[in-house]
Amino acid sequence: MITHDGDAFHLFTNHTSYYFRITKFGHLEQLYYGKRLAAPSPESLELKRTAQVGSAVMYDEADPYYCLDILPLEWSGIGKGDFRQSPAEIKMPDGTFVSDFVFVSHEILSGTSEMSSLPAATGEKSECMTLHIQMKDRMADLFLHLYYTVFSDTDVITRRTVLENKDEKPAVIRKLMSFMLDLFPAEYTITTFHGAWIKEMHRQCAPVGNGLYVVQSTTGTSSNRQNPGFFLAEKSASEEYGKVYGFNLVYSGNHYSGIERTHQGLVRVVSGINPHCFEWTLEKDGKFETPEAIMTFSDSGFNGASGNFHDFINRHIVRGDWKNMERPVLFNTWESCFMNFRRGTLLRMARRAKDLGVELFVLDDGWFAGRNSDHAGLGDYTPDKKKLPHGLGDLAKRIVKMGLRFGIWIEPEMVNYDSDLFRSHPEYAVRITGRKESLGRNQLVLDLTNPTVRDYIAGSVSDLLDSAEISYVKWDMNRHMTDMFGSELHGQGEFYHRYVIGLYDVMTRIFRGRPHVLLETCSSGGNRFDLGMLCFSPQIWASDNTDPIERLSIQGGLSYLYPLSSIGAHVSSSPHQQTIRDTPLSTRFNVACFGVLGYELDPKYLTRTEKKDIRQQIKFYKEHRRLFQYGDFSRHETSKGNKLSWQVVSADQNSSVSGFFASQGHASEAPDLLPVSGIAPEQTYRVSTLPRRLNVKMFGLLINHILPIKINPNGFIFRLIDRFYSLTDCVEEYTANGDQLMQGIRLNNPFIGTYYNSRTRLVGDYGSYLYLFSRISSRNPSDSKQGGHHEG
């Protein structure tokens, strides 16, 4: 995994190589990152330095061709001729900003390297190796430690940096990135993930031109505005093909990534804590560690890079009892009753949810004293006496007795003015004396940079969790940070980062001793969907938007960086509360099942057919839960702008499910092709559509064309029929070898206006299908019988 030959280091995973060397002046020169090489040597890989570039500053007159500005490097300082963005900006002990770190020593360790304040990837000694390189500034007693951990099994290399001051005088860090990487000249595209509340993780792809492209957050969280994860890919890369580099950070606070292309075509990538309002003084013997960053490379397109990230997160980021465990199907109270409920309502709801097949009942916001609106109550987690007269313990007991697990919502990082906590400890809130603070969702942030506040939160939440049979927690965080001030801090430039360290500390103290508790973090939906959180919570609520068509973008975006096992996805009622879009129940499920499934609707109002459908959905999900949560996932491009497809394949390739989703339908559509990949070419599979029910009401007056009698499409009889009767859409079945199926399955005709029979797919707007693939045998290619095509 790591070899050292002369001045060169070769870090390799199962399919990738990362190669760099020490130059004669002690800098680290990047030579190659890409497909695995058997035994690399520098000669054909190095960027040649045989001519002097105009306007360049030469590092040392001993070599007229040695110019840092055009060298691909692993790290670079300031003030020695490299004018690209620097990974560090340090006010040095001598008061200048000039730094020049050069190689001192290295060591190769088995396993990972321990971090002191931040979460990081885990791995057994047999699974990974770490290269630790020590560098020193040429003048000051400042040491820079670069750590590279190589995870062969998932083609991921992690990187991080530690700065250590052994100088008598302090150094002030204004910027210290987790890594720097210079990629060789090529035409790259950058893929980033942007959004806002209820439109998280929308993918954006743009060519990397000359100049600086920044991916960052300044909200105090990793944020829904720009996720810290991104990709650089060769121009022609697609989901299936091409070279793709992926990057992400194990960090939940303000992040910064800068992607800079110079006129020479070199592309520099730096990533780490955002320098925005950041300043950290390192006294003598002080150390500062940056978050761990992760990098991957795949020459199998975006799906290849995503697959590496998925495996890496499932194996090396998620930890504790829920690692690699199937997650329960949950029912959440939020969208059905918000804060307006009574004990009886909850118990009836839980009974109905249980009857549908749900396994975990989650009591969302509104259960504690004063919490009838979002103006009050945060900070005081004592059960509301009117809503829960017998307390939380009693409710939990009753729900557990029904055969369900019980979980609660909390927002421990926040406080309302109207709360006992604020009345007794106004100093716990983040605000600046003398300056009027700004509120978000009518609440203030608690000062997690203050150890007293952390003790309070860790103690009170721990007591709460022990007060009832709670086996799940939804940890919410509903505002961006403003008025940043920590009363216990040495300098306010530490605020944001100390907050994140404080948050990790509190979460560790609460959940380390309660590993059975399934934690799902949330921040107004996906405002903090990052690898730092995934070190604590195996799953994250993806978005408050549960409209399945919107979720195709949101969950689809998340799937580039995060595994399906981490994505909370719920079926809610229709029309949707944020988009007013009416979608079939089947589509709501077909999208939510590509994640950790939940339901968030009022079961009281479900029709008999809807209940029947939901029971079948949950049964189907449970049967294929491992596949949906841990299968190999791919996104497929279809030839049409209004269709897309997702697919999961089991590790043993015995089964697979494809989802085929339509946004708005068009008249007289061309035939559809279901793209398929990842199954075994030599094996035979039976493919069949999961039957989907169609509401009678969706056909309106058209129903009279197929009924023996004429009925009023707005009348009572029609509504009654709709409650108790539904139609089934066309079911297709195919049996064929994997190699043939992977050419794409030509699906039955969609309804195109002139003709209908039971073999017509009634896709319409927002229609979708699940196709289940089951391996039935191993077929010898010489067995000439072709796969049949039976239309149901």
As given in the structure block, the two tokens for residue 478 are: 């509903």
Residue type, 239: E
Residue from the set 260, 476, 610, 672 that interacts with ligand DGJ by CB under 6 A:
476
Residue 524 interacts with ligand DGJ (CB under 6 A)?
yes
Residue 525 interacts with ligand DGJ (CB under 6 A)?
yes
- In the complex with ligand DGJ, the residue whose CB is nearer, 34 or 377, is 377
Residue 632 interacts with ligand DGJ (CB under 6 A)?
no
Instruction: Compute how many other C-beta atoms are within 10 angstroms of the C-beta atom of residue 513.
Output: 11
- In the complex with ligand DGJ, the residue whose CB is nearer, 191 or 524, is 524
How far is 87 from 590, CA to CA, in rounded Å?
44
How far is 91 from 95, CA to CA, in rounded Å?
6
Strand partners, 101: 137
Residue 311 interacts with ligand DGJ (CB under 6 A)?
no
As given in the structure block, the two tokens for residue 476 are: 């919410």
From 297-305, 307-315, 420-428, 520-528, give the range in contact with ligand DGJ by CB under 6 A. 520-528
Name the minimum Å distance from CB 227 to ligand DGJ. 17
Residue from the set 322, 541, 734, 773 that interacts with ligand DGJ by CB under 6 A:
541
Q: How many residues bind ligand DGJ (CB under 6 A)?
A: 11
Name the minimum Å distance from CB 42 to ligand DGJ. 51
Residue 379 interacts with ligand DGJ (CB under 6 A)?
no
- In the complex with ligand DGJ, the residue whose CB is nearer, 271 or 524, is 524
- In the complex with ligand DGJ, the residue whose CB is nearer, 260 or 413, is 413
Which residue in 164, 788, 254, 226 sits closest to 501, CA to CA? 254
Residue from the set 260, 364, 380, 520 that interacts with ligand DGJ by CB under 6 A:
364
137 to each of 68, 90, 96, 98, 346, how far by Cα in Å?
16, 11, 13, 9, 63
From 79-87, 102-110, 522-530, 558-566, give the range in contact with ligand DGJ by CB under 6 A. 522-530
- In the complex with ligand DGJ, the residue whose CB is nearer, 164 or 364, is 364
| Percentage helix, strand, coil for the chain under 3-state DSSP, each rounded to 5 | 20, 30, 45
Name the minimum Å distance from CB 524 to ligand DGJ. 5
Name the minimum Å distance from CB 22 to ligand DGJ. 49
**Neighbour-count burial for 612-625, b at 16+ CB within 10 Å, e otherwise:** ebbebbbebbbebb
How far is 67 from 231, CA to CA, in rounded Å?
28
3-class SS of residue 736: strand
Sequence-ordered list of residues with C-beta below 8 angstroms from that of 45, at least 6 positions apart, any chain: 19, 31, 32
Residue 475 interacts with ligand DGJ (CB under 6 A)?
no
Name the minimum Å distance from CB 544 to ligand DGJ. 4
Contact by Cβ (8 Å): 277, 485:
no
Question: DSSP per residue over 148-167, as a string?
Answer: EEEEGGGTEEEEEEEEEE-S
Pairing of strands 142-151, 156-165: antiparallel
Among residue numbers 687 through 706, which ones bind ligand DGJ (CB under 6 A)?
none
- Name the DSSP class of 133: E
From 33-41, 256-264, 343-351, 521-529, give the range in contact with ligand DGJ by CB under 6 A. 521-529
From 186-194, 217-225, 519-527, 740-748, give the range in contact with ligand DGJ by CB under 6 A. 519-527
Name the minimum Å distance from CB 523 to ligand DGJ. 7
Name the minimum Å distance from CB 334 to ligand DGJ. 5
Sequence-ordered list of residues with C-beta below 8 angstroms from that of 433, at least 6 positions apart, any chain: none
Residue 669 interacts with ligand DGJ (CB under 6 A)?
no
Residue from the set 478, 565, 656, 684 that interacts with ligand DGJ by CB under 6 A:
478
How far is 509 from 657, CA to CA, in rounded Å?
40
Contact by Cβ (8 Å): 703, 676:
no
Residue type, 119: P
Name the minimum Å distance from CB 473 to ligand DGJ. 12
Residue 529 interacts with ligand DGJ (CB under 6 A)?
no
Side-chain-side CA neighbours of 179 within 13 Å: the count stands at 22
Name the minimum Å distance from CB 411 to ligand DGJ. 7
Residue from the set 177, 293, 522, 564 that interacts with ligand DGJ by CB under 6 A:
522
Residue from the set 29, 74, 365, 632 that interacts with ligand DGJ by CB under 6 A:
365
Extended strands (E) in 41-167 = 88-91, 101-110, 128-137, 142-151, 156-165
As given in the structure block, the two tokens for residue 36 are: 């695995």
- In the complex with ligand DGJ, the residue whose CB is nearer, 375 or 425, is 375
Among residue numbers 394 through 423, which ones bind ligand DGJ (CB under 6 A)?
409
Name the minimum Å distance from CB 325 to ligand DGJ. 23
Residue 123 interacts with ligand DGJ (CB under 6 A)?
no
From 148-156, 159-167, 424-432, 517-525, give the range in contact with ligand DGJ by CB under 6 A. 517-525
773 to each of 53, 478, 537, 656, 688, how far by Cα in Å?
59, 41, 31, 5, 7
Residue whose Cβ sits closest to ligand DGJ: 365
Residue 361 interacts with ligand DGJ (CB under 6 A)?
no
- In the complex with ligand DGJ, the residue whose CB is nearer, 288 or 368, is 368
- In the complex with ligand DGJ, the residue whose CB is nearer, 121 or 540, is 540
The interface mask with ligand DGJ, positions 333-352, x = CB under 6 A, is -x------------------
Instruction: Compute how many other C-beta atoms are within 10 angstroms of the C-beta atom of residue 158.
Output: 27
Which residues are catalytic, by number?
Answer: 476, 544
How far is 509 from 464, CA to CA, in rounded Å?
14
Residues in contact with ligand DGJ by CB under 6 A are 334, 364-365, 409, 476, 478, 522, 524-525, 541, 544
